[in-house]
Amino acid sequence: MTAVLAGCAVVTTDAMADNGGAAYGAPAADTRVATQQATPTPTPTPTPAPPAQPGEVGAVSPAPPAPVAGAVATVDPTTGLAAPPVAAPPAVQNAIIAANQIIGKPYRYGGGHRPGFLDPRGYDCSGTVSFALNGGGLIEDPLDSTGFFTWGEQGPGTWITVYTKSSHAFMVIAGLRLDTSAAGDPSGAKGPRWRPVLRSTRGFKARHPEGL
């Protein structure tokens, strides 16, 4: 018969079962059954997570575009970032570089109005404008859209123009429109972005920083 002890099978003969075991002094036959080793289960290879999209947590910011010749900023169609024109004053170039930091962030009502302008939740229209202007050293505290009614000087500027009304604000810097609204943008994407076309300014007040 066969008895199983602690995971090992032990085989005994009928004779051993009858007399209680092998005779004293007689060598017992080794009847142990070799235990087979289990085949190790291969560890599955984890599926890598898809790369974070611009604006998402974990996304890697692409390198900023190099300045371009002339007086008009351009947009890299791959990254969506703007290249400042070399002919623009430093404040204008710095405003563009600053705005690039939040391109692709989500739209968030009230976003961008915290101390320091940084807001991981996202940015609204006036928060986006404020962030860019702060980068150029042109504003110290965030303003809402009505706050821009009396900011700077009246009318369009040479390099920077803020268009504002009670419900919305956007800006044009070196010929590029920075706007959270997708009006006129075929992508339809909301949030801070450089838009490929300008939009109607009907109903908006135009303001600009002094000297720009």
Q: Looking at the structure, tell me whether residues 29 and 131 fall in a common domain.
A: no
Question: What torsion, rounded to 10 degrees, do the Cα atoms 188, 194, 195, 196 define?
Answer: -120
Q: Do residue 79 and residue 27 come from a single domain?
A: no
pLDDT in tens, 19-53: 333 333 444 455 454 545 555 566 655 555 454 44
Q: Is residue 30 part of a domain?
A: yes
State the total domains in the chain.
Answer: 2
Are 112 and 171 members of one domain?
yes
Percent of the chain predicted with pLDDT > 90? 67
pLDDT exceeds cutoff 90 at 64: no
Query: The domain that contains 89 carries what CATH number?
Result: 3.90.1720.10
State which residues form the domain around 201: 74-208
Residue type, 191: G
CB-count burial class (<10 Å; 0-12, 13-18, 19+) for 208: buried
The reply to whether 15 and 98 lie within a common domain is no
* Assigned domain for 162 exists: yes
Residue 96 pLDDT greater than 80, yes or no: yes
Residues 15, 91, single domain; the answer is no
> Are 21 and 111 found together in one domain?
no
Full-model pTM: 0.72
Helix, strand, coil tally for the chain in percent (to 5): 15, 20, 65
Q: Do 170 and 93 reside in the same domain of the chain?
A: yes
